[in-house]
């Protein structure tokens, strides 16, 4: 800015709007929570800047000049625009949103979320569309450059600036078809190891935490097939005698939406008699989205879709 350029003071626009609306220095001062003396000084400054008296005495009242009358509506528009500019981004009406969000999640998490999020968008934010992507992108850079808006799942590879929120902690259970031999007697580590298993791994790995736990008992399981999809593994378990691992809510807790597809397939869920590490489901986003009102609604909708206790709509 050059030294000859005028300095724009937003406070003058707010004061001008108050003075022209109230047509009284005292009432304008009360409206802006300042003193009449300070408002009088501001009026004097406005008169110098605009080179017009603006308000002039008419008996006991003050009346606007023609220039002031011409400025009244324009000043009100400017003040409303300033108010919108400085309103926190979190204050949004979901019903007015028109936006597409991209979420990255494993197929099981995506399947568990999609129905609940679709219901919430229809009820509260019908202008929002959702795009789910498989776990194909490195989350940190993808969040940073905006290719994805939210990552949901087991968050274990984030950049330092990435914001992460824990959503729920689950345990792994064995899922088998009705009438499977494992349902006929109490499940033991030996009987679990003797069954054929389907493993889920995007990288084609045959082993996981269950193998470590079985190894502590000098047991090994046979992984008959490795699939990259949880849903495909559960479908196979529903049609054969392979055992599939499924995340479920802790004993006694409200069932997790992540077991809904296993239940829909008719799978029986069996407690595994081994200490397995819990599975933590979280969501991650870039900090530039933290205060965005639409993104805040999305994060809260994810919490509600996954039935995270103690959280409600923002």
Average pLDDT over every residue of 142-150:
90
Residue 136 pLDDT greater than 80, yes or no:
no
**Angstrom distance (rounded) from CA 72 to CA 87:** 23
- Give the Cβ contact number of residue 40 at 10 Å: 14
pLDDT above 70 covers a percentage of the chain that reads 92
Q: How many residues does the chain have?
A: 314
* Token couple for 168: 């729920």
pLDDT band at 8 (very low <50, low <70, confident <90, very high): low
Lowest mean pLDDT, pick from 149-163, 207-221, 299-313: 299-313
What integer is the mean pLDDT of 288-314?
Answer: 80
**Does the pLDDT value for residue 4 go beyond 50?**
no
pLDDT at 12: 87
pLDDT higher than 90, residue 295? yes
User: Please, what is the average pLDDT of the chain?
Assistant: 88
Residue 275 CA to residue 29 CA, distance in Å, equals 69
Which tens digits make up the pLDDT trace of 83-115?
766 665 556 789 999 999 999 999 999 999 999
Beta strands 279-285; 163-176: pairing state: antiparallel
For residue 41, which of 4, 12, 21 has the smallest C-alpha distance? 12
Please give the pLDDT value at position 89: 53
Tokens of 89: 């981004």
User: Strand, helix or coil at 29?
Assistant: helix
* The pTM of the whole model exceeds 0.85: no
Name beta bridge partners: 245: 174
Evaluate whether 238 touches 267 at the Cβ level (below 8 Å): yes
Residue in the structure block whose two tokens are 């196979």: 236
User: pLDDT at position 1, please?
Assistant: 43
Report the percentage of the chain scoring pLDDT > 90: 59
What pLDDT does residue 79 have? 82
């Amino acid at each position: 800015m050059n030294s000859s350029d005028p300095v724009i003071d937003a406070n003058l626009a707010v004061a001008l709007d108050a003075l022209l609306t109230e047509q009284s220095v005292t009432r304008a001062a009360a409206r802006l929570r300042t003193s009449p003396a300070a408002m009088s000084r501001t009026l004097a400054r406005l008169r110098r800047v605009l080179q017009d008296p603006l308000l002039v005495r008419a008996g006991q009242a003050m009346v606007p000049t023609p220039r002031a009358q011409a400025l009244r509506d324009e000043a009100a528009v400017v003040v409303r625009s300033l108010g919108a500019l400085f309103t926190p981004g979190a204050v949004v009406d979901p019903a007015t949103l028109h936006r597409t969000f991209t979420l990255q999640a494993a197929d099981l998490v995506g399947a568990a979320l999609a129905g609940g999020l679709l219901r919430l968008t229809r009820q509260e934010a019908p202008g929002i569309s959702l795009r789910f992507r498989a776990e194909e992108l490195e989350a940190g850079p993808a969040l940073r450059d905006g290719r994805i808006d939210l990552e949901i799942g087991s968050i274990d590879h984030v950049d330092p600036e990435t914001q992460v929120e824990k959503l729920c902690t689950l345990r792994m259970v064995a899922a088998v078809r009705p009438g499977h031999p494992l349902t006929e007697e109490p499940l033991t580590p030996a009987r679990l190891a003797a069954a054929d298993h389907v493993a889920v791994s995007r990288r084609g790995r045959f082993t996981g935490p269950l193998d470590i736990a079985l190894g502590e008992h000098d047991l090994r399981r046979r992984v008959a097939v490795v699939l990259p999809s949880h849903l495909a593994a559960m479908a196979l378990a529903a049609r054969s005698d392979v055992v599939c691992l499924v995340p479920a809510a802790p004993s006694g807790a409200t069932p997790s939406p992540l077991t809904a597809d296993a239940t829909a397939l008719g799978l029986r869920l069996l407690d595994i008699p081994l200490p397995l590490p819990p599975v933590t489901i979280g969501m991650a986003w870039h900090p530039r989205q933290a205060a965005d009102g639409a993104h805040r609604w999305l994060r809260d909708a994810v919490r509600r879709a996954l039935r995270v206790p103690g959280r409600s709509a923002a």
